[in-house]
Amino acid sequence: GENVEQHPSTLSVQEGDSAVIKCTYSDSASNYFPWYKQELGKRPQLIIDIRSNVGEKKDQRIAVTLNKTAKHFSLHITETQPEDSAVYFCAASIGYSTLTFGKGTMLLVSP
Amino acid sequence: DTEVTQTPKHLVMGMTNKKSLKCEQHMGHRAMYWYKQKAKKPPELMFVYSYEKLSINESVPSRFSPECPNSSLLNLHLHALQPEDSALYLCASSQETSGRAFEQYFGPGTRLTVT
């Protein structure tokens, strides 16, 4: 089955800095890669996703890049703010909407 | 309506109790999911319903029994649970599951404590 590795497990940055979270996947048939943000005690919230026919996608301060050859994808957050503090999960799917999640990255943004 | 709702928010039950978790969505989605999430871990898939039929059961113990009465509702019936079943139970929905991955949207979850 699919295996998703996510790094780092914890990331601390100063407000205004950029943050990058990286994931690798094992199954080259995976074609959908969403990112979820989960604040403490709340639901996972879909923040951005990318499909295998696209190399990069951007939404305001958030961007995701995909390298199919290397089987890795990354989340980039620019101009971080304290409200970006949360746990971020990457995931991969081989169609059919069954997601395999990474173990999560706790992002801490200090004012 | 772009939300998935779940009730109750919190549930405490003994090991001999029977209880049910409920999930509802009105986005016209035809796929619904149950996940279990332990603290500091990712969501773990339990069941998938597609067009109101159970399509995936991730080898979940029979003390968890899912039910999909209609395309908007999803229930999880609980019976004879163990303390290690204490977790956040998340419901999610997506357009469908046929041939491509669609965005999954999560409900707020039910925090379950088994005593």
Instruction: Decide if pLDDT at B41 tops 90.
Output: yes
Q: DSSP string of B67-115?
A: EEEETTEEEEEEES--GGG-EEEEEEEES--SSS----EE---EEEEE-
Q: According to the model, what pLDDT value does residue A94 have?
A: 82
Summarize the confidence of residues A91-110 as an average pLDDT.
90
Q: According to the model, what pLDDT value does residue A97 have?
A: 63
Confidence category of residue B12, pLDDT binned at 50, 70, 90: very high
Q: According to the model, what pLDDT value does residue B102 have?
A: 83
* Nearest-angstrom CA–CA distance, A13 and A77: 11
Q: According to the model, what pLDDT value does residue A98 have?
A: 83
Instruction: Decide if pLDDT at B1 tops 60.
Output: no
Q: Which residues of B touch A21 (CB under 8 A)?
A: none
Q: Which residues of A touch B98 (CB under 8 A)?
A: 96
Helix/strand number for chain A, H first, E second: 0, 11
* Nearest-angstrom CA–CA distance, A103 and B41: 6
**Least confidently predicted of A56-60, A71-75, A97-101:** A97-101
Q: Which of B40, B99, B104 sits opposite A95 (nearest CB)?
A: B99
Confidence category of residue B37, pLDDT binned at 50, 70, 90: very high
* Closest CA of chain A from B37, distance in Å: 10
Measured CA angle at A104 (ends B85, B67), to 5 deg: 40
Q: Which of B56, B101, B106 sits opposite A93 (nearest CB)?
A: B101
Percent of chain A past pLDDT 90, that is, above it, reads 89
Q: According to the model, what pLDDT value does residue B92 have?
A: 96
Q: According to the model, what pLDDT value does residue B113 have?
A: 97
Selected for mutation to probe chain A from B51, B54, B102 (highest A CB count within 10 Å) is B102
* Measured CA distances, B56 to A42, B7, B39, B44, B48 (Å): 25, 23, 24, 13, 5
Which value, to the nearest 10 degrees, does the dihedral of the CA atoms of residues B36, B40, B42, B45 take?
Answer: -10
